[in-house]
């Protein structure tokens, strides 16, 4: 199993090109199931999760053609993936693949909408909380689906004549449920309204792609989405939007090391909440078009309290990285996690660097220390992996990060991008 080795204490200086967003690419790939014509996705990140979902789609009969395009000198660019779901051979998504990645469950919506039935294993993914799928199920039931749970599988059957439009109000904001129900509603009869819908940029990106395929979706990016169903969707070409979580992670790495890094090809408007908090901590973040230049003036950062929230609030996917940033800030920072109940597993690993963090239910109190020291650590999930890399970059001495397969799920060539900015980082096979 691969490991990452870091010799810390080197400020980052240079430019980092931001890849396409994992959290956008995955629902876009599942959208191919809603059409019998090819869907071409550009700016696709080269990630384990993308390959895992491609294997699942292939199991269902989707023809996949991946072009691994060369990256530019600054690391910019992405792959091109063509998905053709004209000849689906199965509507069953197996436990073997769905259990590896939660986003695989999203195939439920387009499958039952287009074919009238689907059998999908209950999902897996990072061990950061229960994240039940009842919101998906209740939404499909509102559209007329009959749902049965059998030996770990969700079996969905559409009524004769297909799914019917409905008003679906979710008691909780769920990105996955919004993705799934929006894809299903695109092929339903009549109008569907999703109330209390997720507002994430990735939801709007999916809607933009579906509309390019012939869907009629309004309001994506707001809490109320209106979908007028159509009989069929056609093919399209769509460019995956930049990854806001990768953007925020590298911004915090630059701030943590005291360097200056320009993040290119990104969407600054999608991480405004994170930039606001970083500026309050004493980080300079200069925005110009699709670039963000992050630097620290040499003084110690100031502790800032943060509460994770649904978009446009501070993202839970940057909580671990920001906690790392606060480990060396002056004062005491209170970090409250409201999205996932089990997302503080990185705390014990940060403690191995010498961080002073105490847990109180859904709150972590970070008492800033003057410096971190390198240590052997183990990643517990995808975003915690990035947090450990950030800590290792700033720590004195050597850090070895184990279980870096989590990193490969969501960060494209992280050691190459950081190495280009002066980080002493290498992958140990």
Give the annotated binding-site residues: 22-23, 102, 131-135, 317, 339
> Using the 8-state DSSP alphabet, how is residue 6 labeled?
E
Among residues 405, 356, 395, 390, the alpha carbon closest in space to that of 375 is found at: 395
Residue 397 corresponds to which tokens in the numbers above? 């001495």
To 10 degrees, the CA torsion angle through 35, 142, 124, 61? Answer: -20
Residue positions forming the annotated binding site for UDP-N-acetyl-alpha-D-glucosamine: 102, 131-135, 317, 339
For the chain, the first-to-last Cα distance in angstroms comes to 7
> Using the 8-state DSSP alphabet, how is residue 366 labeled?
E
Residue positions forming the annotated binding site for phosphoenolpyruvate: 22-23
Ranges of H-type helices in 143-174: none
Query: If residue 53 lies in a helix (H) or strand (E), which one and from where to where?
Result: helix 48-59
Q: What is the Cα–Cα distance from 365 to 125, expressed in whole angstroms?
A: 27
Within its chain, how far is the Cα of 177 from the centroid? 15
Asked if 126 is an active-site residue, the reply is: yes
CB 265: neighbour CB atoms within 10 A?
22
Ranges of H-type helices in 69-174: 95-98, 108-115, 134-142
Query: What is the crossing angle of helices 244-257 and 382-394, to 10°?
Result: 20
Which residues carry out catalysis?
Answer: 126
């Amino acid at each position: 199993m691969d490991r990452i080795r870091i010799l810390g204490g080197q400020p980052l200086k240079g430019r980092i090109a931001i890849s396409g967003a994992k959290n956008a690419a995955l629902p876009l790939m599942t959208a191919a199931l809603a059409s019998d014509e090819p869907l071409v996705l550009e700016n696709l990140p080269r990630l384990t999760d993308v390959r895992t979902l491609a294997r699942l789609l292939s199991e269902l009969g989707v023809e996949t053609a991946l072009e691994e395009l060369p990256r530019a000198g600054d690391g910019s660019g992405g792959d091109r993936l063509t998905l053709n779901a004209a000849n689906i051979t199965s509507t069953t998504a197996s436990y073997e693949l769905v259990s590896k990645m939660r986003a695989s469950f999203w195939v439920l919506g387009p499958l039952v909408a287009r074919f009238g039935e689907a059998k999908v294993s209950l999902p897996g993914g990072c061990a950061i909380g229960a994240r039940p799928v009842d919101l998906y199920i209740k939404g499909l039931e509102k559209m007329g689906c009959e749902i049965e749970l059998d030996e770990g599988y969700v079996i969905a059957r559409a009524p004769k004549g297909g799914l019917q439009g409905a008003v679906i109000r979710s008691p909780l904001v769920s990105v996955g449920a919004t993705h799934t129900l929006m894809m299903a509603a695109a092929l339903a009869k009549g109008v569907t309204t999703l109330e209390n819908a997720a507002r994430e940029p990735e939801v709007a990106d999916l809607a933009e792609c579906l509309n390019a395929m012939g869907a009629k979706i309004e309001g994506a990016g707001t809490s109320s989405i209106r979908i007028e169903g159509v009989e069929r969707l056609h093919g399209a070409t769509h460019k995956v939007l930049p990854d806001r979580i990768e953007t925020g992670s590298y911004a915090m790495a630059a701030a943590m090391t005291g360097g200056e890094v320009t993040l290119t090809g990104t969407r600054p408007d999608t991480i405004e909440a994170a930039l606001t908090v970083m500026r309050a901590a004493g980080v300079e973040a200069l925005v110009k078009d699709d670039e963000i230049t992050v630097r620290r003036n040499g003084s110690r950062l100031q502790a800032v309290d943060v509460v994770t929230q649904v978009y446009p609030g501070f993202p839970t996917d940057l909580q671990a990285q920001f906690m790392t940033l606060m480990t060396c800030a002056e004062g005491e920072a209170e970090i409250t996690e409201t999205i996932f109940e089990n997302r503080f597993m990185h705390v014990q690993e940060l403690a191995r660097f010498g961080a002073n963090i105490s847990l109180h239910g859904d709150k972590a109190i970070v008492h800033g220390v003057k410096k971190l020291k390198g240590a052997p650590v183990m990643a517990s999930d995808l975003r915690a992996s990035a947090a450990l890399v950030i800590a290792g970059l700033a720590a004195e001495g050597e850090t070895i990060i184990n279980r870096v397969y989590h990193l490969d799920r969501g960060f494209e060539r992280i050691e190459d991008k950081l190495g280009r900015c002066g980080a002493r980082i290498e992958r140990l096979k």
